[in-house]
Chain A
Amino acid sequence: MTKRPQLIIPAVVLGVILLVVAAIYWIDDAGSLPSFFPGHEAGSTHVHFKHGLAAAIVGIGCFVFAWFQTGGERPGTRGERPSA
């Protein structure tokens, strides 16, 4: 896999933003969400838990991606043989 160290900082920043977005979805109800957020619905008391979960998953994905970009281009350990 080709390493792209220049993407580490953007990936971390994006990951942090997405975790903040996830927290907003979990804390605020649909009526209190910023109007540009998907799921905003004036007056609604519904909490978009799944939207928050989706944002959190992508945010964690960004951190994992950044983590791999910090590694060198070296060979790792070999895989075990799968069981029959």
Chain B
Amino acid sequence: MDPISYFQAIVLGLLQGVSELFPISSLGHSVVLPRILGWDIHQNDDYFLSFLVATHCATALVLLLFFIKDWARIIKGLGRSLRDRYIDPEDSDAKLGWLLVIGTIPAGLLGLLLEHPLRTLFASTETAAIFLFINGLMLFGAEALRRRAPVRDEAGIQNDQAIAHRLSFRDALGIGTAQALALIPGLSRSGASMGGGLIAGLSNEEAARFAFLLATPIIGAAGVLKLPDLLGSQGDHVRGQALVGALCAAVTAWFSVRFLLRFFETNRLTPFAVYCCVVGAVLTVAFALT
């Protein structure tokens, strides 16, 4: 019998695409959902990790394609600054590129060094539920500490230029480090980086845009690094399900990023904070009683 059915792959793939980009923790949801539905799937099972590799790769690919024109500009900007050995403060593409590089380094390093120990330490559904509640508090806290109201920039400044103008390299380092919180199931990568962006002075829309750009290399690298697991013996009996799950994740990730960019033009993180607090609290109590 296959360790994951095609139905489970569809559900988990759809969930992954949404929860990876919504600030509600994809890892937390992929830990608690199997228990809620009574599925015999556990976060540290080899086949499940191989399955997640495919869904992560799909999400990263969608993000890359969604922002492909922006990435082309950013990479050209990085090239210009390397050629000139100078980051022109008025070259928003170069500045944004280096903000993304600097933001990616701490998350990448912490991910490389701490991913396995943290995943092992916080593998239980009970801790995932508790951290989901804490994620809600983190989102509330970010909104409370924000520096700017969630209104659209009337000055006509383009988002990327605004991000490059408002964020310092130290801010990017802080946001990148906050992203590493997502190594703990229940805490959200996009929530941490959006929250960090708000505290650093970005609007919700700019913070969401920066979080999605910042997530692309990290999610992609995490997927590519573990791709041998999926292609090796660990991926036996789940490759077909992984492909189906990846397609489902790609579809929901595409619609999620479109929705969220529009949502954050005028809205805050508060609805997601409420969701995480309520679901986290209910699941914590439910898991304690069962």
Interfacial residues, chain A to chain B (CB-CB below 8 A): 1, 50-51, 53-54, 57-58, 61, 64, 67-68, 70-83
Contact = CB atoms under 8 A, between A and B. Distances in A.
B77 A79 contact: yes
B284 interface: no
Interface stretch (B56-64, B106-114, B134-142): B106-114
Contacts of A82: 70, 73, 92-93, 158-161
B85 A68 contact: yes
B83 to A, nearest CB: 8
Q: Which of A57, A73, A77, A79 has the most CB of B within 10 A?
A: A79
Instruction: List the 7 closest pairs (A to B, CB-CB), nearest first.
Output: A71-B85, A76-B84, A79-B91, A76-B88, A50-B112, A79-B92, A82-B160
Contacts of A54: 108-109, 112-113
Contacts of B161: 79, 82
22 contacts: A1-B87, A50-B115, A54-B113, A57-B108, A57-B109, A67-B85, A68-B81, A71-B86, A76-B87, A76-B94, A77-B80, A77-B84, A78-B88, A78-B90, A79-B77, A79-B90, A79-B92, A79-B161, A80-B73, A80-B76, A82-B70, A82-B159
Contact of A76 (B80, B112, B158): B80
A76 B108 contact: no
A70 B77 contact: no
Contacts of A58: 105, 109
Contact of B91 (A50, A71, A76): A76
Given A57-B105, A76-B94, A51 B87 contact: no
B82 interface: yes
B113 A51 contact: yes
A32 to B, nearest CB: 20
A77 B86 CA distance: 9
Contacts of A75: 86, 88, 90
Nearest to B94: A79
Query: Which of B69, B70, B86 is the most central at the interface, judged by chain A CB atoms within 10 Å of its CB?
Result: B86
Given A79-B93, A82-B92, A82-B159, A68 B86 contact: yes
A70 B160 contact: no
A50 B84 CA distance: 32
Given A53-B225, A75-B86, A79-B88, 11 more contacts: A51-B113, A53-B112, A54-B108, A54-B109, A57-B108, A76-B91, A77-B80, A78-B90, A79-B90, A80-B76, A82-B160
Contact of B86 (A53, A57, A64, A76): A76
A73 B160 CA distance: 24
Contacts of B76: 80
A70 B83 CA distance: 11
Given A50-B113, A83-B69, A83-B70, A78 B91 contact: yes
A47 to B, nearest CB: 13
Given A54-B112, A54-B113, A76-B80, A83 B73 contact: yes
B167 to A, nearest CB: 14
B160 A74 contact: no
Contact of B88 (A70, A77, A81): A77
Contact of A71 (B69, B84, B90): B84
Contact of A77 (B73, B85, B91, B108): B91
